[in-house]
Structure 1
Amino acid sequence: TSTPEPGSAPPGPVSPAAGQMFWSCWSCRILSGGGLLLGPLYVFLAARKVMRQGGTTSMGNVAQIAFAASLAAWGIVVITDPVGKSHRKT
């Protein structure tokens, strides 16, 4: 280990950037990601209800299910925060 020079201040904690302060909070990521996981459930069940009633599978239903899948993926990304974990903390 290196010793600091006399008269120099030891390195202090590095504050997060203003834009990253919100996403560094675990409870904030769980709350927003959980909402993004509940939304697709509603959208998927609405599309599935039409198909279960004997209606034909239309392009609108397929689009709803694809949209629900993309919202669910977004929710998982918000909760796991892969970008924040890939940056090295100094």
Structure 2
Amino acid sequence: MSTAPAGGAAVPENKPGQMLKDCWSCRVISGGGLILSGAYVFNAARKVMRQGGPTSMGTVTQIMFAAGLAAWGLVILADPVGKAQRKT
């Protein structure tokens, strides 16, 4: 559906879920932010290990969380679901 403003030109309506799929700069900013967040969390965990502290379950969990953040950022950048839908 489209709406016609006072000028007469039709403006397509965006669905709420499609906003991130259509906007490349939004995907770069959010994906890059998640990757950088993952790097920050990973470096915080590595700092404890470099100082000679014991590797605890908290440190391992922190590293796994950092890997999850970075993977989530890569998925947003790659957009594998959106590419599969565009081919059809």
TM-score of the superposed pair, with normalisation by structure 2: 0.79
User: Which residue number in structure 1 is paired with residue 48 of structure 2?
Assistant: 50
Larger RCO, structures 1/2 (Cα 8 Å, 6+ apart): 1
Q: Distance in 1 between matches of 2:47 and 2:86?
A: 46
Shift of 1:24: 1.2
Question: Are positions 1:41 and 2:35 aligned together?
Answer: no
Distance 2:30 2:68 in 1: 15
In the alignment, which of 20, 23, 28 is matched to residue 22 of structure 1? 20
Percent sequence identity is 67
**Moved runs in structure 1, 4+ residues, more than 2 A?**
none
Distance 1:65 1:81, change over 3 A: same
For the residues of structure 2 that align with 1:16 and 1:23, how far apart are their CA atoms?
Answer: 14
Give me the whole-angstrom Cα distance separating, in 1, the residues matched to 2:77 and 2:86.
19
Q: Considering fraction of residues, name the structure with more strand.
A: 2
Match of 2:60 among 53, 62, 69: 62
Query: Structure 1, unaligned stretches of length 5 or more?
Result: 1-14
Gaps of 5+ in 2: 1-11
Q: Which has the greater radius of gyration?
A: 1
What is the RMSD of the two structures over their aligned residues, measured on CA atoms?
1.7
Count matched residues.
Answer: 76
